[in-house]
Amino acid sequence: MGITTVLWWAVGYSLCFNGGADGIYGNFHLAFLRHVGVHTLYKPSGIPLVVLIAYQMMFAIITPALITGAFTNRVTFKAYLLFLVVWQLAVYYPFVHMFWGGGLLAHWGARDFAGGIVVHASAGWAALASVLYVGKRKFIDSAHNIPFIALGTGLLWFGWYGFNAGSELKVDDITAIAFLNTDIAASFAAVTWLFVEWWYAKKPHFVGLLTGAVAGLATITPAAGYVPIYAAVVIGIAAGLVCYYAIQLKNRLHWDDALDVWGVHGMGGLLGIVLLGVFAGTAINPNGAQGLVHGSTTFFGKQLAAGVGCSAYAFCFTYAMLRVIDLITPVRVGTEAEKGLDAAMHGESAYALDV
C-alpha cells in the first residue's frame, strides 16, 4: 500500500486520468497532485476529484497485490520492489488510461466497467508469467486456516460491491444494476463450483465454494454495469465452470500458482471481457454497446481482441521484466531463505511458536 500510494500521488493519477486523449498515457500536469483542490470537481459525474483519486488508488493498490499471491515464498524483497514499481508504470497505468482515462481502447470502442482487463486479467496473466519464471516452491504448505479464508472472502465480496457499483461514480439505475449483477454472478459461480467439485471429489468443499464466489466476482467485474440481470446468471455459471477447469489444468501442468490467481482472476477477467461482448446492451447503459445477442459482431470482436491482446501483453512484459530484474538483483530466493522469508529477509517471524 505504501509504495503504490506514493507512486499514485507522484505520477500515477496524472498518467492515468489527465490528458492524453485517445492515447496510451495521460500527462504529468497533475503530478504530485498539483492543481487538485478540496473543492475541485470531477466533471463527468460531479463528484469531488479527491474522491476519484482516492477511489482509483484502491484499484491501483489491489492489482499488484493479486500478483503477489501467485509467487508467494519465492521472490526476494529487492526484486519485488522493482517489480512493483515498473509493472505499475508499464502495465497498470497504460491499461487504466486506455480504458478509463479517455485513452486508446475506450476511443476504439472496447469497454471494461470495473476492471476485467485493467485489474483481473492484467494481474492474472502477469501472475502466470511470474510463476513460470520463478518456478515451483521447495516447501508447499496446505491451507492452514479455512475460517480466515472464509472471512477474507466475505470481506472481498462485500468490498466488491464498492468496486463494481461504485465504478458508475454516481448513484443511479446503473449503480443499482451493477450491484445486483455482482451479487448474482458471485452466487451462481459459487454454487456452480460447489456442485462441479462435489461431482468429481465426491464431497462438497467449502474452499471450493469460496473460490467459486471470487471467480464469479472477477468475471462479472467488466460487465456489471453493461449487461441485463439474466446475463449475470449466465456469466456466473460460466465463471464457475471455466475457472474450475482452469485450476484443474494448472494442477495438471504443475504450475505453482499459490493462490490460483491465473485461474480465478486471469481467466475470469478475460472471460468476463468476452462475455461482455456477448450480452452488452445500450438499453442497460447508453455508454456501453450492442453485444452479440443484439446482432452486433463488431463489439464482440473488439472485446475479444482487447482481452486477448492485453492479457498477452501483461504476460510477455512481466516475463521479460523479471529477466531484466534478475540481471540487476536475484529474483528467486535461496532454498534456506525459502523455509521462512520473514526471518531470512526481514529478521522477523509471523508467529512466535516457541512462546
H-helix segments, the chain: 2-7, 13-17, 49-70, 77-87, 93-100, 104-108, 122-134, 146-166, 173-201, 206-220, 229-253, 261, 267-279, 297-328, 335-338, 341-346
Q: Evaluate whether 288 touches 111 at the Cβ level (below 8 Å).
A: yes
Residues 2-57: pLDDT tens digits? 999 999 999 999 999 998 888 999 999 999 999 999 899 998 888 999 999 999 99
Predicted pLDDT at 253: 96
Segments of the chain scoring below 50 in pLDDT? none
Given this model, what pLDDT does residue 87 score? 97
In the block, cell 449483477 appears at: 181
Give the model's pLDDT for residue 339: 60
**Distance of alpha carbon 45 from alpha carbon 43, whole angstroms:** 6
Q: How far apart are CA 335 and CA 341, in angstroms?
A: 10
Tell me what pLDDT residue 139 has.
Answer: 75
Residue 194 and residue 83 in contact, taking contact as beta carbons nearer than 8 Å = no
pLDDT at 9: 97
What is d(CA 285, CA 299) in angstroms, rounded to the nearest whole number? 14
Question: Tell me, what's the pLDDT at 342?
Answer: 64
Distance CA 42, CA 146 (A): 42
Long-range CB contact pairs, 243-246, < 8 A, 24+:
243/189, 243/193, 243/211, 243/212, 243/215, 243/218, 243/219, 243/267, 243/268, 243/271, 244/192, 244/193, 244/196, 244/197, 244/208, 244/212, 244/215
d(CA 318, CA 125): 9
Domains of the chain: 98-331 (1.10.3430.10)
CA atoms of 215 and 233, how far apart (whole Å): 13
**pLDDT score at 336:** 59
Task: Report pTM.
Answer: 0.94
Helix (H) or strand (E) holding 47: strand 47-48
235 neighbors 109 (Cβ within 8 angstroms): no
pLDDT in tens, 177-202: 999 999 999 999 999 999 999 999 99
State in Å, rounded, how far the first CA of the chain is from the last one. Answer: 31
